[in-house]
Amino acid sequence: MNELGFIGCNLNPDPSGGHWTAPPLTDRCWYPLCEKMVELDVPAMVHVSSSCNPNFHATGAHYINADTTAFMQFLTADLFRDFPTLRFIIPHGGGAVPYHWGRYRGLAQDLKRPPLGDLIRDNVFFDTCVYHQPGIELLLKVVPADNILFGSEMVGAGPRHRSGDRATTSMTPSATSTRSVSIDEDRQAQDLRRQRAQGLPRGSTRALRAEPLRETDYRSTDSTC
């Protein structure tokens, strides 16, 4: 850090590559690293490497599993009590955490842990690398804005766009022109599902987004999602 000017480090929580044989990040075996991070005042991005386990595709499963697992490790331990200024960045929007925020809030309550907002306030940050606008919107609705960092990716899980795909363009600064197309396709697909659920002809101009789906509508569209 001091010699080359790096401003952070990458921390692989699973050196086994998908077999999870290492102790959790909150184990004391990691404390020398935590002490050095505090001394240098730098954060670590929690990011696994390749998967050696055929059950877990690297970018489609292993990465997201690791993001979510790291958050749960932080939730269940007192690492930040021992290191109040320690900072971690969980990439890919925090894995499954924002989507299941209510689950983790309930777990924190049952385990007598601090509220999630207090848990992450000064120590855990998520980035915006979730590949489509609805994911970013969910992240911003659920996670405090002060704990969200801008992030983009190239190539990552792959910026690609094929006819018929929905929301396949990655959210990179260079994707400005294609990003709006991707978002429009996402909305068009949502409208089409709602039209089918409500018995409307395809291409109907009825203002569907103003009418949220009822519970029965969700059940009726399961086969088309």
Rounded mean pLDDT of the chain? 79
Alpha helices, H only, 77-197: 79-82, 101-110, 116-120, 133-142, 176-197
Sorted by sequence, the CB contacts under 8 Å of residue 160 that are 6+ apart come out as 168, 169
**Residues 102-116 pLDDT 10s:** 999 999 999 999 999
Residue 164 has pLDDT above 70, yes or no: no
Measured CA distances, 159 to 94, 182, 189 (Å): 20, 11, 20
Q: What is the CA radius of gyration of the chain?
A: 20
pLDDT the model gives residue 216? 37
pTM as predicted: 0.70
The residues facing 9 across adjacent strands are 44
Give the percent of the chain with pLDDT over 90.
Answer: 64
CA-closest candidate to residue 65, choices 27, 94, 43:
94
Catalytic residue among 153, 185, 211, 215: 153
Do the bridges between strand 124-127 and strand 148-149 make them parallel or antiparallel, or are there none, so unpaired? parallel
**Residues 40-70 pLDDT 10s:** 999 999 999 999 999 999 999 999 999 999 9
Residue 181 has pLDDT above 60, yes or no: no
- 108 with 66: CB under 8 angstroms? no
Q: Looking at domain 9-149, which of 3.20.20.140, 3.40.50.2300, 3.10.129.10, 3.40.190.10 is its CATH number? A: 3.20.20.140
The band of 1, judged by pLDDT with boundaries at 50, 70 and 90, is confident
Residue 174 has pLDDT above 60, yes or no: no
Q: Where are the domains of the chain?
A: 9-149
Q: Which residue has the higher pLDDT, 154 or 134?
A: 134
**Residues 62-103 pLDDT 10s:** 999 999 999 999 999 999 999 999 999 999 999 999 999 999
- 136 with 117: CB under 8 angstroms? no
pLDDT the model gives residue 153? 75
Sorted by sequence, the CB contacts under 8 Å of residue 88 that are 6+ apart come out as 11, 25, 43, 44, 45, 46, 70, 74, 123, 124, 125
Residue 22 has pLDDT above 90, yes or no: yes
The band of 165, judged by pLDDT with boundaries at 50, 70 and 90, is very low
The band of 169, judged by pLDDT with boundaries at 50, 70 and 90, is very low
Asked if 153 is an active-site residue, the reply is yes
* Cα 35 to Cα 84: distance, rounded to the nearest angstrom: 11
Sorted by sequence, the CB contacts under 8 Å of residue 162 that are 6+ apart come out as 168
134 burial level (CB within 10 Å; 0-12, 13-18, 19+):
middle
| Bond from prior residue into 42 cis (ω within 30 degrees of 0) | no
